[in-house]
Amino acid sequence: MITLVESWFAILMVLIVVALYRKWLARTEDDTVHLSDLEDKVLQHQQTLAKQLARVDLTGKVITIAFVLYTVTVIGRIIYLGWMDSLQVK
């Protein structure tokens, strides 16, 4: 049981790190649309940052889904073990 909770906590920590990394990465994000030449440094920076954020967002979504599924599994296991323990004659 302890291993399940420790694994859950580890996944939570990874999720928090990914969220903080995304926030750190997006700190230089420019939300305005630049309609200049493609060779412009600002436009290139915007495109590069958008690609990086898309990768981090996908990673965050996958980890979030894994975290939710693992949470449901851990809660289900805890409920199941409690139920099986209550059925035993003492």
Measured distance CA(46)–CA(70) in Å, rounded: 35
Q: Give the tens place of pLDDT for each residue, 30-75.
A: 777 766 665 677 778 888 899 999 999 999 999 999 999 999 999 9
Q: Give the tens place of pLDDT for each residue, 4-33.
A: 889 989 999 999 999 999 999 998 887 777
Q: Which own/partner pairs from 79-84 qualify as long-range (CB within 8 Å, at least 24 positions apart)?
A: 81/1
| Helices 2-25, 41-87: inter-axial angle, 10-degree rounding | 160
> Which pLDDT score is estimated for 40?
74
Closest among 72, 52, 55, 60 to 14, alpha carbons compared: 60
pTM: 0.78
